[in-house]
């Protein structure tokens, strides 16, 4: 007696091996595909792009902070006043930039979830 199954579902032999990257991507697309292709797809895709760009910005600020940290401690070690002043100015930019980026990411995420 045949097993009832959804005709859209692939047979187990058609699936990539468990734990493979290809299987993971297929599962993500199966889960998110209807959402990305709904009647509000332009807004959904734009929100996904904004979230991706905000994530890249957050990673970029973290990397920039690490470079700043190295420059500051090199300047402190060598007692170079001009480099310490520049590192302090960069720190001010980091302190003001990162919370703004995080707040923007949180606000945008709440808008996505609410809509």
Residue position matching structure tokens 């991706």: 52
How many whole angstroms separate alpha carbon 21 and alpha carbon 49? 22
- pTM as predicted: 0.51
Residue 30 CA from chain centroid, whole number: 20
The confidence score (pLDDT) of residue 68 equals 79
How many whole angstroms separate alpha carbon 91 and alpha carbon 85? 10
**Structural Rg of the chain based on CA atoms:** 23
- Can you give 39-86 as a three-state secondary structure string? CCHHHHHHHHHHHHHHHHHHHHHHHHHHHHHHHHHHHHHHCCHHHHHH
pLDDT exceeds 80 at position 16: no
pLDDT exceeds 50 at position 111: yes
Query: Are residues 105 and 51 in contact, defined by beta-carbon separation less than 8 angstroms?
Result: yes
pLDDT in tens, 47-103: 889 999 999 988 998 898 888 788 778 877 887 777 777 777 777 776 776 655 555
Query: Are residues 44 and 36 in contact, defined by beta-carbon separation less than 8 angstroms?
Result: yes
Rounded alpha-carbon distances, angstroms, from residue 72 to 52, 99, 115: 30, 21, 44
Share of the chain above pLDDT 90, in %: 7
């Amino acid at each position: 007696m045949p097993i009832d199954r959804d005709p859209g579902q692939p047979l187990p032999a058609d699936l990539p091996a468990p734990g493979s990257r290809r299987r993971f991507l297929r599962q993500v697309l199966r889960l998110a595909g209807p959402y990305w292709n709904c009647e509000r797809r332009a807004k959904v895709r734009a929100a996904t792009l904004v979230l991706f760009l905000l994530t890249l910005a957050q990673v970029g600020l973290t990397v920039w902070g690490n470079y700043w940290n190295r420059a500051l401690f090199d300047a402190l070690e060598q007692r170079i006043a001009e480099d310490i002043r520049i590192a302090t100015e960069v720190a001010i930019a980091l302190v003001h930039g990162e919370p703004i980026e995080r707040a923007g990411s949180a606000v945008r995420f709440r808008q996505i979830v609410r809509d």
